[in-house]
Amino acid sequence: MDRIENLNKLRQEIDRLDQELLQLFSLRMKTVLQIADYKKANNIPILDQGREQEVLAKTREIPDAFVREQAVRFFQTIMDISKKYQAEYFEKLDNYVQEAASANEGKAEKIKIAEPEIWSTETIILKAKKVTVGFQGVPGSFSEQALREYFAPGGEEFLTRSINYPGFADVCKALQAGEIDYGILPLENSSTGGIAEVYDLLCRYGFYIVGEKCLQVDHNLLALAGTKLEDIREVYSHPQAFLQCSDFLQKYPHWRQAACSNTAVSAKLVAESLSGDKAAIASRRAAELYNLAILAKGINNSPENYTRFIIIGRELLVSELNNKISLAVALAHQPGSLYRTLSHFALNGLNMLKIESRPLPQKTWEYLFYIDFEGNLARPEVQKAVAEIKRASTFFQLLGNYCSDS
């Protein structure tokens, strides 16, 4: 009787472990489909022999030779099931795309967005108007430089009125209140990627991108006249500038890095401190404006260091010159949703330029996707693609149609 009770207890333990294995197996298959989405979007084959060997190598930690051998067979079987699952999933996705292409063939002219007023053909050239533009920081900042180059290309007389604000959100509040006609904000850097706060502000305020300026950013180490490199104890700048100059800064590990809201703000702070042990990372124009010496020129990691600035406005401006569109979309949290959304670009012959994801507030592990692609809202194939993406999205926001500067 004791043996039977002991056997039952052991079987109960096996049942508990089997239940855990089933739950883990189910979670693994769900992750397998997420990997399949990535492979499909990036044209990566299902079989990855290097990855399989990496998985099998984990069994070497098992001391019992027999159990180790069976563990190899166990993992190999799971990976074979996973590959078959991905192959069947790919086939279903391909069938979906083919069916969608057949169903939509010749129907582009019948598909309209719910807000037809956005397809205005009015041509508005911002640079021909005297406007008030807000930027973050102080004079000498890269935002101000991008503003000047966008609204006064070629160095002609600068007639646009500009107002500076302490933060990115302050620029948006001023635009919302009507204090300025347009705002200019940095959106991404070629070395360090997107600026999360600006992405979030775009959707929060519902403004439109009406233009962009790609500015080559040249960082320099600035200090009071007569200061030497060996005198420096503190360096001030924006966190993005520290990242973009990390190689140079590694040579001086004893320097304390102090973050400022803007590179030009850091230059102004050093100038006003009258301290010979402080330096700033900022532009050459900031050095001129705040009477600082340049201790080291071009200290950014890459000489090809560009920041993309966007011009934002309260109204969507559509021109026949526009060739770039930005969207923000959230998708259903289910297998294939991202792939199906991206397929609309291929089906309509449109070139996607970029996709960036940001976490959705209060929704754990769900994301908002920011997408840039080539096109003009007046084109039927663009209207069709945008309409289909909007229908498939749980959240959709048209961020703008404007002229690319890249």
**One-letter identity of residue 225:** A
CA 259 – CA 237 distance, rounded (Å): 5
Task: Write the DSSP string, 102-161.
Answer: HHHTT-GGG---S-GGGG------GGGS--EEEEES-TTSHHHHHHHHHHSGGG-----E
Question: Which one, of 225, 203, 236, lies nearest residue 276 by Cα?
Answer: 225
Q: What is the pLDDT of residue 109?
A: 36
3-class DSSP assignment, residue 167: coil
The yes-or-no verdict on residue 121 having pLDDT over 60 is no
Task: Return the exposure string of 130-146: e unless at least 16 CB atoms fall within 10 Å of the residue's CB, then b.
Answer: ebebbbbbbebbbbbbb
Question: Which one, of 269, 268, 223, 266, lies nearest residue 241 by Cα?
Answer: 266
End-to-end CA distance of the chain: 81
Dihedral pair phi/psi, residue 355, rounded to 5°: -140, 130
With tokens 């703000």, the residue in question is: 265
- DSSP H helices in 331-376: 337-347
With tokens 């996709």, the residue in question is: 355
Q: What is the pLDDT of residue 125?
A: 44
Lowest-pLDDT choice from 125-134, 175-184, 328-337, 380-389 = 125-134
Q: What is the pLDDT of residues 375-398, one digit of tens each?
A: 999 889 999 999 999 988 988 999
The mean pLDDT of 321-332, rounded to a whole number, is 91
Cross-strand partners of 373: 325, 352
Residues 6 or more apart in contact with residue 196 via CB below 8 angstroms: 358
Among all residues, which ones are annotated catalytic? 307, 309
Length of the chain: 406
Global pTM reads 0.65
Question: Which one, of 355, 347, 309, 306, lies nearest residue 329 by Cα?
Answer: 355
Q: What is the pLDDT of residues 41-59, one digit of tens each?
A: 666 777 777 787 888 788 8
59: DSSP letter = G
The alpha carbon torsion through 8, 13, 16, 20 (nearest 10 deg) reads: -150
Res. 149 pLDDT band, cuts 50 70 90:
confident
The alpha carbon torsion through 246, 252, 256, 261 (nearest 10 deg) reads: -30
With tokens 């298959």, the residue in question is: 29
CA 317 – CA 295 distance, rounded (Å): 44
CA 299 – CA 296 distance, rounded (Å): 7
Tell me the domains of the chain and their CATH numbers: 2-104 (1.20.59.10), 220-296 (3.40.190.10), 321-406 (3.30.70.260)
Cross-strand partners of 378: none
